Amino acid sequence: MTSVTSAPVPARVVLNQADIDRALTRIAHEILEANKGSKDLVLLGIPRRGYPLALRLAQKIAAADPTVDAAAIVGQLDVTMFRDDLSHQPTRPPYPTQLPRTGIDNKVVVLIDDVLYSGRTIRAALDAIIDLGRPRIVRLAVLIDRGHRELPIRADHVGKNLPTSSAEKVRVRLEETDTAPDGSSVNEVVIEGGA
C-alpha cells in the first residue's frame, strides 16, 4: 500500500454573518452614491441567492433613504432560458421572473448576484433584461468577485474580491435559501476544495 490519502482540505470561512452585513451596507451606500440618490432605482436579484441579497440591499437602501419603499424596488430576474450552457448541463427548472410594478423602462437597474465568476450568468441576464424592457442604465453588484472571467464583464459594486484557484469552490450560504448541515440557519461564504 503506497497510496497516500490526502486529508480533505477543510472549508474555510471567508465572510461570516457580520462581514456579509457590512459588505451589503457598503454596497447599498455605493449604489445610492453612484445613482446620486434613489431616483429610478430598481434592484433585480438573480435566482437563487441573488434575490435574497437584493431584498437585503433594498432594506438597507430604505434605511438610508426613507423615501424608498423597499418592496417596491426589488424584482427577481430568471436567466435560465438565456444561458449558453443549456445543452451541456442537466435540465434546470426555471424560476419566476417578477419585475417591480413600475417596470424597468428608463430605470436604473442594478443586477444582484452572489458570486461573479465566468460572467456567463450576467451575459444571460443582460439578454433577459433586453427582452423585458429598456433600462436607462444597467449596473452590477455582487457579493463575491472570484475572478476567472470568460467574458468582458465587470462588477460596479463588489462585496469582496476573492482571489481563488479554479479548482476551489466558493459557496455562499444564506439563511433565506440554505441551512447548515446541522439544520441551523447560516449566513456565510466559504471556500472549499483546492490544493
Partner 1 sequence: MKHLLSTEDLSLANAIRILDTAEEMAAVGDREVKKLPALRGRTVVNLFFEDSTRTRISFEAAAKRLSADVINFAAKGSSVSKGESLKDTAQTLAAMGADAVVIRHWASGAPHRLAATDWIDAAVINAGDGTHEHPTQALLDAFTMRRHWAKLGGTGSIGADLAGMRVAIAGDVLHSRVARSNVWLLRTLGAEVTLVAPPTLLPIGVEQWPCKVSYDMDETLERGVDAVMMLRVQGERMNASFFPSTREYSRRWGFDDNRLRALDRLGLKDTIIMHPGPMNRGLEISAAAADSPRSTVLSQVKNGVSVRMAALYLLLSGDTREPAATPTKESN
- Quote the least distance from Cβ 87 to partner 1, whole Å: 6
Rounded to the nearest 10 degrees, the angle between the axes of helix 17-34 and helix 50-64 is 60
Of the two residues 40 and 95, which places its CB atom closer to partner 1 in the complex? 95
Residues in the site for partner 1, rule: CB under 8 A? 78, 80-82, 86-97, 127, 131-133
CA angle 6, 10, 11 (to 5 degrees): 145
CB of 134 to partner 1, least distance (A): 10
44/135 Cα distance (integer angstroms): 12
- Answer whether 165's CB lies under 8 Å from 148's CB: no
Comparing CB distances to partner 1, the nearer of 37 and 94 is 94
User: Which CB, 70 or 132, lies closer to partner 1?
Assistant: 132
Compute the least distance from the CB of residue 90 to partner 1, in Å: 5
* Residue among 99 and 158 whose Cβ is closer to partner 1: 99
Q: Shortest gap between Cβ of 131 and partner 1 (angstroms)? A: 4
**Identity (one letter) of the amino acid at 5?**
T
Residue 174 CB: number of other CB atoms within 10 A?
Answer: 21
